[in-house]
Structure 1
Amino acid sequence: MKIQFEKNFWWGTAISGPQSEGIFAKSNLNIMDYWYQQSPEDFHNQMGPEIASDMYHHYNSDIKIMQELNLNSYRTSIQWTRLIKNIKTGEIDQEGYQFYRAYFQKLHDANIKTIVNLYHFDMPIELENIGGWTNKEVVDLYVKYAQIAFECFGDIVDYWATFNEPVVPIEGCYLYQWYYPKIVDFQKGIQAGFNTIVAHAKTVNLFHKMFKHNPNKKITVILNLTPAYPKDQQAENVEAAEIRDLLFNKAFLDTMVLGTFPDKLVELLKQENILPFYTTDEIEAVKDARIDFLGVNYYQPSRIQARTIPWNNNDPIMPAKWFENYQWPERRINPYRGWEIHPQTLYEIGINIKNNYNNIPWIVSENGMGVEDELRYQDSNGQINDNYRIDFIKEHLYWLNQAIKQGSNCFGYQLWTFVDCWSWANSYKNRYGIVSLDLETQTRTIKKSGYWFKEIIENNNVIEIEEGLIK
């Protein structure tokens, strides 16, 4: 069986500044830098962000590898703490500016369409110390930082993103203690989420004002969508899945694509007296903001059922008041991450965007498979034969192709990630790259999946799918 994508389809990879560059020559620390300094034992093998994949020094050779693989698109992020020397005044760090200027110019000259993201979980510690996204002053400082970035690089960067996965810092910092400062406070999480939405909206409106005479300049947000499947069609399980979807998907999808807050979500928070503090001007900014396309990160769905044990109302409120996770008996699991592999969900995301979100143009901005101890699959030439990753990608591309055939307006697919990168507290435990990284020498070696990805483009975007692969 063969599938084919349009000639101008985007093929690429995604990464982030804090996960790839290393902390070389930065004026400021972000929360991840600071967290590692304070608690290195929280990180796998006590490996922090100091060097990461050292893209700070290797971007020229990395871009050459991208060209060798025929990749036509790429996403990375600016580190707020690298570009801005004085977070409060907005004074530019000249060394950081020169680095990003050269990096983005090189990508521009290589004809690689580049999405530059402004924020990837990397709050400056100076701002976290005054409340992070719970503090509206941080919203204003973020918009100031965004304006500086647009002014510095808007001539050579056409595609921008405000945030990567804005729900994740809410989960990680305010609910489930994944990331510093490890607060457990749903009310603060709601305020931080709302303020993030406002920061996004104000930045989108600013961008469109700055570039109103240049239709080639476009801005997006990158959302990680985890559609909620109920255990069955019993009313209480359907309701539980709907609430999970409201809190973790639609809170951002509806506001950032449609400019509206879901009525049911507002009523839910109102009943619990946990609505965020807001102004009418902020609501108007959200209504006015329209992204030009949508970035979708997809890894796994969620499986949900109604609570089997009643919630104790004496406990601090958490999302778990309304639902529980459900373990689907037919699931396939990536054992290294514990994540379900369900490629068909990507089709359903595409159809949902078509039917309920104005069929906005969208791109798969992340999809990928993390595997531990990949050296097991290294051959005598040093290449990792990651056939499991190739099959994973094929399955997802098959279902994406089906959504496109049904009219969903997807124009590209970007893998996480280009080269094995540092992954927060997981460090290098799981590898995602199509290019492997030797941590001691920083040597890059293209994996089998990288060469396979190259063949797609050389083969006129035609992909051969083996019989029996599609589950």
Structure 2
Amino acid sequence: MEVLVICLLLCVSGAYAYTDGRIRVFSDDFLFGAATSAYQVEGAWDSDGKGESIWDRFLHEHPKLIPDGRNGDVACDSYHNYERDVEMLRELGVDHYRFSISWPRILPGGFSNKINKKGLEYYDKLIDELLKYNIKPMITLYHFDLPQTLQDLGGWANPLSVQWFEEYAKVVFEQFAHKVPYWITINQPSFICVEGYGGKENAPGIGSSGIGDYMCIKNVMLAHAKVYRLYEMEYKEKFKGSVGISLSLNWADPFTNSTENVQAADLYRDFTIGLYMNPIWSKDGDFPRTVKDLILERSKAQGYRHSRLPVLNPDEITLLKGSADFLGVNHYTTFLVKATDQVYPNPSMDDDIGVELTYRPEWKTSQSKWLRSAPYGIYKLCLHLNKVYDYPTMIITEHGWSTKKLLKDNSRVKNMREFFKALLLGIEDGARVKGYTAWSLMDNVEWAAGTSERFGLYEVDFESTEKTRAPRVSALVYKRIIEKRFVEPDWKPDSLNIAITKSKANSKEL
């Protein structure tokens, strides 16, 4: 009788419920967290021995790209405000904090011959502060900020970058492996390579689409695998940590159900999902056959003697296959894909894919033009990953919504709630999702967009010397979801005052 009463009370509260009255809830061992990255929040870009990163150089040389002129030189000044950052995490009551380590803060010259002790001390203090309050560190080893010294040698287009990354990772593992249960090797290879090496508006801005981006993809994926094997061989048995990779996995639906559009959507997913998923999670490994065949055909037609997509040899395929304990899913939006006769630069990845992207007119637009609200996409993505990659273990390592500067961020709240509704449906249908990480804990420098796009649960006053943080409505709603383990569609906070929740000790493991 008591159970029935509780169930009825939950139903009255407005939670997402089944028709028979059962409630869709997150399990007790589901991990909730928040995320940032080093360049976007730390500031102190040249302090205490830190070296120059590609984003330092790129935005210093191209300030006009930034709408509001704010780069990462100071950012949120988390280098000096990390205790306040941890206090915010305590206020939310999260289980984990995903943050990245700045490669040039640890190795100013990029190589392991010179280790910056001040950099190690900063991350050591941050990790200890998290552990003090039972918040699990989830460290990203690489979140876009390559040392400029290594870029001067070719960066991720240089095959030696695989070795450079492994040596950097070893330095970090030696220092922190005993304290950190979750590791992400690399964040969004697609952004690193397609935007940075294929495009010109993100660091390092090489502009070599169709060639440089493919070279980068192979090297970044191999670098991930090398570091996974390093941890597996030298640290896993002793420290029992989990190592994964975070991929940008937005969903893509055909614009219509015509054969041409269905095929176009399939091809687009092969290029944006399969190119990164297949080498690790497919049964045969390697890049998708469709992608390899198409690029080879186009390369020969364009006069190249070999495919512009570098080949993975048998040893590399073996190295990559199975090289992740979990899949980090960075999911924001959904696209509609249609076949097109549009002419793209030749060669380029756009030309290789040969499709056009659009949206439903009813999908609401965020402050970021590319980001539309279509939460059903996470459900369809879960089904796709289950079917194609045999139910991989997943953590949502990024999901968020951008607004202007405002505390009453109702659009973010709505997007979050609808996302959770779709995610719970995916879990119900078998998706092995073990956690969720909000992007982002606070407003930060959104790369070339500066601070014109605000993703934070906490608003940052970038005009203040202290870079004051203040909770938004979304912070209160997220806090409530974490506490209750389910979503109340109509709940609203009485005020924006937020009390520190004593973080519960947890031993949740994948």
- TM-score normalized by the length of structure 2: 0.85
| 2:243 equivalent to 1:213 | no
Task: Compute the displacement of 1:14 (Å).
Answer: 0.8
| 2:300 equivalent to 1:269 | no
SS of residue in 1 equivalent to 2:108: strand
Match of 2:257 in 1: 233
Question: Aligned letter for 2:388?
Answer: N
Task: Compute the displacement of 1:388 (Å).
Answer: 1.6
Cα pair 1:161 1:222 within 8 Å, conserved: yes
Question: Aligned letter for 2:346?
Answer: D
**Structure 1 residues 176 and 438, CA, compared in 2 at 3 Å: closer, same or farther?**
same
Task: Compute the displacement of 1:40 (Å).
Answer: 1.7
SS of residue in 2 equivalent to 1:4: coil
Task: Compute the displacement of 1:331 (Å).
Answer: 4.0
Match of 2:454 in 1: 431
2:82 alignment partner, one of 22, 38, 59: 59
SS of residue in 1 equivalent to 2:377: helix
Match of 1:458 in 2: 483
Q: Deviations over 1:353-390 (max 9, x none)?
A: 2222221221111111111232xxxxxxxxx1222211
Match of 1:373 in 2: 405
Match of 2:318 in 1: 284
Match of 2:375 in 1: 343
- Distance in 2 separating the partners of 1:266 and 1:20: 38
2:36 alignment partner, one of 9, 12, 15: 15
- Distance in 2 separating the partners of 1:315 and 1:358: 36
- Distance in 1 separating the partners of 2:346 and 2:390: 40
Question: Aligned letter for 1:194?
Answer: K
Question: Aligned letter for 2:101?
Answer: I
SS of residue in 2 equivalent to 1:160: strand
**Structure 1 residues 229 and 464, CA, compared in 2 at 3 Å: closer, same or farther?**
same
**Structure 1 residues 291 and 236, CA, compared in 2 at 3 Å: closer, same or farther?**
same
Task: Compute the displacement of 1:86 (Å).
Answer: 3.5
Cα pair 2:199 2:207 within 8 Å, conserved: yes
**Structure 1 residues 41 and 240, CA, compared in 2 at 3 Å: closer, same or farther?**
same
Cα pair 2:196 2:202 within 8 Å, conserved: yes
Segment of structure 1 superposing worse, 318-327 or 119-128: 318-327
**Structure 1 residues 235 and 254, CA, compared in 2 at 3 Å: closer, same or farther?**
same
SS of residue in 1 equivalent to 2:441: coil
- TM-score normalized by the length of structure 1: 0.92
Q: Deviations over 1:230-284 (max 9, x none)?
A: 1222222222222211112111112233343222222222222213155443233
Task: Compute the displacement of 1:321 (Å).
Answer: 4.2
| 2:269 equivalent to 1:245 | yes
SS of residue in 2 equivalent to 1:457: helix
- Distance in 2 separating the partners of 1:355 and 1:222: 20
| 2:418 equivalent to 1:418 | no
Q: Deviations over 1:1-60 (max 9, x none)?
A: 423111121111111011111113343111110112222222222211111111111111
Match of 2:26 in 1: 5
Task: Compute the displacement of 1:326 (Å).
Answer: 3.7
Cα pair 1:90 1:145 within 8 Å, conserved: no
Cα pair 1:19 1:49 within 8 Å, conserved: yes
Question: Aligned letter for 2:255?
Answer: K
Match of 1:377 in 2: none
Cα pair 2:108 2:147 within 8 Å, conserved: no
Question: Aligned letter for 2:394?
Answer: W
| 2:195 equivalent to 1:195 | no
Match of 1:398 in 2: 421
Q: Deviations over 1:111-151 (max 9, x none)?
A: 11221001111111111111111101111101110111111
SS of residue in 1 equivalent to 2:88: helix
Q: How large is the RMSD of aligned CA atoms in angstroms?
A: 1.9
After TM superposition, the structure 1 = structure 2 runs for residues 8-407 of structure 1, keeping only pairs within 5 Å, are 8-22=29-43, 23=45, 24-185=47-208, 186-214=210-238, 216-258=240-282, 259-271=285-297, 272=299, 273-276=307-310, 278-287=312-321, 289-309=322-342, 311=343, 315-338=346-369, 339-374=371-406, 384-407=407-430
Match of 2:505 in 1: none
Task: Compute the displacement of 1:64 (Å).
Answer: 1.5
Identity of aligned residues (%): 28
Question: Aligned letter for 2:479?
Answer: K
- Distance in 2 separating the partners of 1:299 and 1:120: 17
Gaps of 5+ in 2: 1-13, 16-23, 300-306, 492-510
- Distance in 1 separating the partners of 2:199 and 2:252: 19
Question: Aligned letter for 1:230?
Answer: P
Q: Deviations over 1:272-331 (max 9, x none)?
A: 2213155443233113x421111101111222111234x47x933432343332434444
Cα pair 2:30 2:434 within 8 Å, conserved: yes
Match of 1:380 in 2: none
Task: Compute the displacement of 1:184 (Å).
Answer: 2.6
- Distance in 2 separating the partners of 1:345 and 1:283: 30
Gaps of 5+ in 1: 375-383
Cα pair 1:18 1:79 within 8 Å, conserved: yes
- Distance in 1 separating the partners of 2:259 and 2:211: 28
SS of residue in 1 equivalent to 2:358: coil
Cα pair 2:35 2:437 within 8 Å, conserved: yes
